[in-house]
Structure 1
């Protein structure tokens, strides 16, 4: 079996819903489904979050971050965090937990290093996407945060599958973009019940075409991906800039510029990134 055959096998399994996840991922998926219930209220959400100590700590931390604590008033309870954040931000935190859990079972040092770098990249993209959505493209920031968190989920699943299919780590990075990311990504995102609008935006990333000034959720993700100071260890997208070139990206946004907005928002981006890295 060569690399493309391995991609096809994993993609076929994904399309049939035959995905293998660690037990803790399945538990987190049940939590995500509970939060997706339109009848889920604040008290119920707080109880669900409190049942997971790590998630509880992250909820309080992100509620106290610059992005969500405009008043500067710190809170210390999960219930207060849930009230401040809302269900949709909690869904993003659970999504972050799921994505990290997918790669947590890897023991090979080389693959572990790639998982660590991929999550650093993901956390940067998610934090940047949240700020770009709020300050530049004016799409929903919570949706942008969620999209940034799950935009590389296929990569995490591929790395987790490398033990059974070592061929996936062979060959050129372009193979992953063309034959792995798209086919595996769609199956994994369907299993995780990623909303259609987010899937569409991530599919736009796979094409690698971004408008300036950015307008859509897909543009938001692509710009965040370009500006992320840590690159994905799996590939460089078609037309993607180097880090040095990415820092020169600028355009007029209203009465200001993209560069000025991102400079003003640097502390906010860093606070979100720090929480996601907990």
Structure 2
């Protein structure tokens, strides 16, 4: 079976809703469905989180990161953690568990390395998106971080299936992997019940252009991807950054401000990575 046929099979399965998720992902998805219920109250959310020990530990860890608890007293229980991070960020944690679990069944060392790099890229983009949202585009920072976490979900799924087909992701000049990933992104987003504004941005991201001044969730993710130093191991390589003096972004922020944004995002990314991988 050649690559084109294999990509076609994976994409066709996804289009029919035949997504192959690890068992651990299915358990987390059931939790997410409950959290999507507008009538899900705090006590029920706490009970659901406590039923998933890994999620409970990461919720507390996230609540103690600089993004949510800068200089405050340490959070030591799920109730306080959930109150601090909120439902939206709990959903981000759930989504991060899903994308990380896609790599849990990969055996090939090369693919596992790609999956690790993709997660590092994802965490960096999520942190940058949050800071750019607060300081440049003024969209909701929590939504921006969530969008950053899930924006490569199709790539994670493709990596999880590539272990079944040796050589699938090697040298793909005709970019069949990108076409397949686009289909996977739509279907995985639907299965995860991602909010429509976030899902639409994910679908537009690959070929979108940055607007000036940047003011949308899409612009926020484009900026975050532009300044991420860890590239995605999938798809086309990022375009080289211009010298800052030649950048239209000079109209929005000077070099010192950009440096401060990147440094703040790096701190959040490190803390978030530790929390989500604990």
What is aligned with 1:112? 112
Whether 1:253 aligns to 2:249 is no
Matched ranges for 1:175-190 at <5 A: 175-176=175-176, 178-190=178-190
- C-alpha contact (below 8 Å) 2:111/2:163 kept by paired residues: no
Query: How far apart are the structure 1 equivalents of 2:70 and 2:85?
Result: 12
Alpha carbons of structure 1 residues 168 and 85: separation in structure 2 relative to 1, 3 Å: same
2:213 alignment partner, SS class = coil
- C-alpha contact (below 8 Å) 2:58/2:275 kept by paired residues: yes
Q: Aligned-pair distance for 1:62?
A: 1.2
Whether 1:241 aligns to 2:243 is no
What is aligned with 2:138? 138
- C-alpha contact (below 8 Å) 1:68/1:85 kept by paired residues: yes
Matched ranges for 1:215-234 at <5 A: 215-234=215-234
What is aligned with 1:93? 93
Q: Aligned-pair distance for 1:261?
A: 4.6
Q: Aligned-pair distance for 1:269?
A: 4.4
What is aligned with 1:147? 147
Comparing 152-161 with 176-185, greater Cα deviation is found at 176-185
2:162 alignment partner, SS class = coil
Comparing 70-79 with 148-157, greater Cα deviation is found at 70-79
TM-score after normalising by structure 2: 0.89
Alpha carbons of structure 1 residues 160 and 177: separation in structure 2 relative to 1, 3 Å: closer
- C-alpha contact (below 8 Å) 1:211/1:219 kept by paired residues: yes
Alpha carbons of structure 1 residues 173 and 111: separation in structure 2 relative to 1, 3 Å: farther
2:74 alignment partner, SS class = coil
Q: Aligned-pair distance for 1:74?
A: 1.9
Q: Aligned-pair distance for 1:179?
A: 1.5
Query: How far apart are the structure 2 equivalents of 1:36 and 1:125?
Result: 24
- C-alpha contact (below 8 Å) 2:169/2:177 kept by paired residues: no
Provide Cα deviations, 1:130-182, integer angstroms capped at 9, x if missing partner.
22112221111121111111111111111111133335313326615642221
Structure 2 residue ranges without an equivalent (≥5): none
Alpha carbons of structure 1 residues 183 and 82: separation in structure 2 relative to 1, 3 Å: same
Q: Aligned-pair distance for 1:276?
A: 3.2
Alpha carbons of structure 1 residues 254 and 233: separation in structure 2 relative to 1, 3 Å: closer
Provide Cα deviations, 1:92-129, integer angstroms capped at 9, x if missing partner.
00000011111111111111111111111111111111
Comparing 86-95 with 189-198, greater Cα deviation is found at 189-198
- C-alpha contact (below 8 Å) 2:126/2:148 kept by paired residues: yes
What is aligned with 1:129? 129
Matched ranges for 1:1-278 at <5 A: 1-70=1-70, 72-166=72-166, 168-172=168-172, 175-176=175-176, 178-236=178-236, 240-242=238-240, 245=241, 248=244, 250-253=249-252, 258-263=257-262, 265-266=264-265, 267-278=267-278
1:251 alignment partner, SS class = helix
Q: Aligned-pair distance for 1:185?
A: 1.4
Query: How far apart are the structure 2 equivalents of 1:76 and 1:31?
Result: 22
Alpha carbons of structure 1 residues 221 and 270: separation in structure 2 relative to 1, 3 Å: same
